[in-house]
Structure 1
Amino acid sequence: MKTVLASRNAKKLKELRRILAEVAPSIELVGLDDVPEYPEAPETELTFAGNALLKAREAVRYTGLPAMADDSGITVDALNGMPGVFSARWSGRHGDDRANLELMLGQIGDVPDEHRGGAFVCAAAYVHPDGTELVALGEVRGRIIREPRGENGFGYDPVFVPEGHEVTTAELAPEVKDALSHRGRAFRDLAARLAEL
């Protein structure tokens, strides 16, 4: 079943194709670069689930295909859960991973290690042209380290060490990261629920 992922992030598309291949091989996931261009609505919702649904609904509206979307980010305990839904544009420029990461690290620079907890959070949404809508949530708790490490991830991966690990999510092998990631958890749950329909 051809399904649009409402994203232009090639790394995210690759990651989700790996995850869905395991649990929902009948879904052929294509990105926004694979469908006719349409005006993308800004992420105006204040929750991950709200933004994921907004993006998936827009993709269905313009393509006529079933759509998946996610909104995800990092929540930092010392920042009262921020950057949260603003993770991708925390520095003021959408998608500037380095600037976002450096700003967040600077904001908690004087926070002691024992108070540098946080979580990666993801809301994954599925919207079908018939009006069916599903949302699944995934979360991984961990801690924020002081210096980036690793090349296998994107966004805040180089500074996030998941609970039970000593390496960052950017240092994990892709299959290990997929198994424990917030995005992996949310999309595996979403795919399992789709299989029940």
Structure 2
Amino acid sequence: MKIFVASKNEHKVHEIKLLVPKFVELELIKTELDVEETGETFIENSIIKAIEYGKDVVQPVVADDSGLCIDVLGGFPGVMSARYMEGASYTEKMESILQLMKNYEERTARFVCVATYFNPINNFLISVEGYVEGSISREIRGTQGFGYDPIFIPNGYEMTFGELGEAVKDKISHRSRAFKKLFELLIKVGELKEES
């Protein structure tokens, strides 16, 4: 079975590919469509992307919306994580966040991911949330992963996702948790079936 990934972020697609059941072929969506994320929550944006891209390709798609939520900053950058300081590099974005937090001892945060599957053929839609709790480091550490990984220390570890690397991230990340749960549910309800 083929499912398209409604994302132009190759890092994201690579992470999702590691989580799909073996009988599912995952393909990066190729379309001129550029869906605007107008939702105020991760779930709204995830559903918007899944439905719009699904209707465009008329095939099952998975989409996600994810971001970093920092408690002391009121959940910022949250749904604006990718669009914060648009045009700036992630190093610049992380430096800006560390600057905003320089006077705070309280550094709890979480990565949140809402994964959505939409099949336009039978109009089947399902969304699940995954998250990982942690804290914000005092400096940028590590070069692995992408986005805000080098400033996020997951609970139970002393290193950032940028230092821990793919093997740990695949087990405990917000995206890993959301997509594992999503594919399990899709198999359970019979939407995904291994072809005999």
TM-score, normalization by structure 2: 0.92
Higher helix content, 1 or 2: 1
| CA–CA distance in structure 2, aligned partners of residues 109 and 31 of structure 1 | 39
* Offset at residue 89 of structure 1 (A): 1.1
| Amino acid across the alignment from 2:167 | E
Contact 2:117 2:125 in 1 (8 A): yes
Contact 1:123 1:186 in 2 (8 A): yes
Q: Secondary structure at the match of 1:88?
A: coil
Contact kept, 8 Å, 1:153 with 1:170, in 2: the verdict is yes
TM-score where L is the length of structure 1: 0.91
Task: Tell me the amino acid that sits aligned with residue 42 of structure 2.
Answer: F
Report matched runs for 1:1-197 at 5 Å: 1-20=1-20, 24-32=21-29, 35=30, 37-93=31-87, 96-112=89-105, 115-129=106-120, 130-197=122-189
> Aligned equivalents of 2:186 and 2:72: distance in 1?
36
Is this contact kept in 2: 1:40–1:58, CA < 8 A?
no
Deviations 1:19-58 (A, max 9, x none): 22xxx222211112xx3x2221211001101101111111
**Alpha-carbon distance in structure 2 between the residues aligned to 1:122 and 1:162:** 15
Cα distance, 1:99 vs structure 2: 2.7
The range that moved more, 167-176 or 96-105, is: 96-105
Q: Is the 8 A contact 1:88 1:100 kept in 2?
A: no
* SS of the residue 1:143 aligns to: strand
Distance 1:176 1:150 in 2: 14
Structure 2 CA distance, aligned partners of 1:157 and 1:173? Answer: 9
Cα distance between partner residues in 2 of 1:106 and 1:85: 20
- Percent identical pairs in the alignment equals 39
CA distance in structure 1 between the aligned counterparts of 2:167 and 2:58, rounded to whole angstroms: 32
C-alpha distance in structure 2 between counterparts of 1:29 and 1:125, whole Å: 14
Give the counterpart letter for 1:57 in structure 2.
Answer: I
Alignment length, in residue pairs?
188
Verify the 8 A CA contact 2:68 2:109 in the aligned structure 1: yes
CA contact under 8 A between 1:91 and 1:103: conserved in structure 2?
Answer: no
